[in-house]
Each structure stands twice: as structure tokens, then as C-alpha cells.
Amino acid sequence: MPWSYIINTNRYYASLNNSTDGQMPLPDGQFSNTKKMVFVLVIGETARSDNFSLYGYPKNTNPKLQQTPNLLVFKNTQSCTTYTTGSLACMLSHTEKVANFEALPTYLARHGADVIWRTNNWGEPAIDVSSYVKASDLRSSCQGEGCRLDEALLTNLIETIESSTKQKIFIVLHTKGSHGPSYYSRYTASFNQFKPVCRDEEISKCTSQELINAYDNTILYTDHFLATLIAKLESLQSIPSAMMYISDHGESLGEQGLYLHGTPYSFAPDYQKTSPFCYGLQIRCNRISK
């Protein structure tokens, strides 16, 4: 879209200002117990719930998550905006109002939690955390084909959790997910299951089916990523854990002649606003009550 070049340039430069100076602190709180536990928040990218079989999509794009017990799937979740920076600021805030309060990671870190932000993306609000790690810095220790993709974020994750000396650990994994237009580059070869796929960055040159197939393969890969994370958390022997997955916004795949996202919210189609939202509980250790 023509306006995207201007708007996103401004958003990009705004995101470079990562100072938390001037942010207003939220009221102090306290943890209700001192037991060591971990919560992992996975922020998806451009995943729309319409293409998740967890939400009734007829193609099986969630074969692993559908087999996962104790997974809560929330329906009718709408993103705050149709672009990354706006949605991240919103989902990490206690209010939808635009105000300069500290974000959730900063709040938790200020209260003594070990807050670890791992990113294969960009666009988070200014935060003050214990550890900020880019996927590019994790890749040298990562093994496997998925290391060039979001799976790099899982590198040594369990070791990091186990070695933390804090009682409360909050980890954010900010993925690249289904970001277009090159959907075909967001998954490894074994997830190229829906064919034929669009391999042209000028996606309007592809057929609708090729485009949707490539996009669906990214959801299949996200399914694998989340199932892998859950399996890793289940391997923790004595640390209760939970994980939450929510995408920042949806995507248009040619419906009404629209592609990608970022359409102004007031007339953006629901495809750009419907975000999948899952919550997984790890029960091998002490069950965390719902």
C-alpha cells in the first residue's frame, strides 16, 4: 500500500527510541508465593485465527496443537491494531488508552522477576528487562534446520530457565511467524505440505490458492514451534510452567482485493484483526489452577 512506506518508516524510527525514561510506573504489587515458576508468552506475527484448524479451518494446520491436552483456545479475540508496533504496545499494556505507562515486562522486572525477551522480530515498546536477546545471537548455539527461523528462539531455553536464580521467570518469544509477503520463506522444507505455493514476493501475481497454501504452511510451522515449546516446558522436572500464544494481528490474503495488513483499523477487514489466542498449562509438575 502506498501509505505503508511513509507510515512504517516513521514507526521504524520511533521504535529505535527504546528508552523507558518518562514512563509512569504502575502501582506496586507482590507475588502471592515464592515458588519458582515460569511463564512464556509467545507473540505471533501476522497469524489470523481464520486459518487455524483450532478455530474450525477445514485444512489441518494445527495437527500438533490439536493433540495437546490442557490447551485453552479463546475465541473472538481481536487485535488492538493491524500493525506490529501498535499491537505490541497494546497487548503489553494494562490499558488500551495511549499513555506512557511502563509495559508488563518492565513491571515484572521491577518486581524482581527474571524477564527474558528473545526476538526474531522488532517493534516492541520501550522495555527494561533482565535480558534482551536477538535470534541472530542465538543461532550460533542452535542446531537444526529451523535455526534460521523462529526455532532459534528456543535455543537453550530450558537451560536458561533452570539456571535462573529468580523465583519468577517471564519469557517473551517474539516470533516472525507468518510475516509476508514471502510466506514461503517462513518455514522449513518439511512444512511445505500445502502445494503449490506462491514463491513471488509480488503476491498478486500468484493464484489465490498458491498464496493461501504458502500462508497455511506458515501456520503449520507455527503449530510445530508451539508444540516444540510445550514439549520443552514439559521436560522441566520441578518448575511449574505455562505458555500463552497470541498473534499481534491478522492478515489479508486477497479478500476484497486486499493483501498483507496495516489497513487503517476503522475500515480494515476482520481478517486483519482476528488473532489466535491459546493458553497452555504444563501439568507434569504442580498444576497451576485455571
Using the minimum distance from each CB to Zn ion, give the nearer residue, 92 or 233.
Answer: 92
CB of 165 to Zn ion, least distance (A): 34
Q: Could you report how far apart the first and last alpha carbons of the chain are, in Å?
A: 43
What string marks each residue from 193 to 232 as x (binds Zn ion by CB under 5 A) or -? ----------------------------------------
CB of 180 to Zn ion, least distance (A): 10
User: Residue 121, interface with Zn ion (CB under 5 A)?
Assistant: no
Using the minimum distance from each CB to Zn ion, give the nearer residue, 29 or 264.
Answer: 264
Place of cell 500500500: 1
The answer to whether the beta carbons of residues 102 and 20 sit under 8 Å apart is yes
Number of residues near Zn ion (by CB under 5 A): 3
Using the minimum distance from each CB to Zn ion, give the nearer residue, 62 or 84.
Answer: 84
What string marks each residue from 57 to 96 as x (binds Zn ion by CB under 5 A) or -? ---------------------------x------------
What string marks each residue from 20 to 59 as x (binds Zn ion by CB under 5 A) or -? -------------------------x--------------
Give the residue nearest to Zn ion (CB).
84
**Radius of gyration, alpha carbons of the chain:** 19
Amino acid at 17: N
Q: CA distances (Å), 2 to each of 11, 231, 260, 263, in order?
A: 15, 43, 13, 11
User: Residue 248, interface with Zn ion (CB under 5 A)?
Assistant: yes
Return phi, psi of residue 233, to 5°.
-65, -35
Using the minimum distance from each CB to Zn ion, give the nearer residue, 81 or 241.
Answer: 81
Using the minimum distance from each CB to Zn ion, give the nearer residue, 49 or 84.
Answer: 84
* Distance from C-alpha of 231 to C-alpha of 219, rounded to nearest angstrom: 18
Contacts of 212 (CB under 8 A, 6+ apart): 51, 194, 253
Q: CA distances (Å), 88 to each of 62, 95, 104, 181, in order?
A: 24, 12, 11, 20
Which SS3 state, helix, strand or coil, does residue 189 take?
helix
- Contact residues toward Zn ion (CB under 5 A) are 45, 84, 248
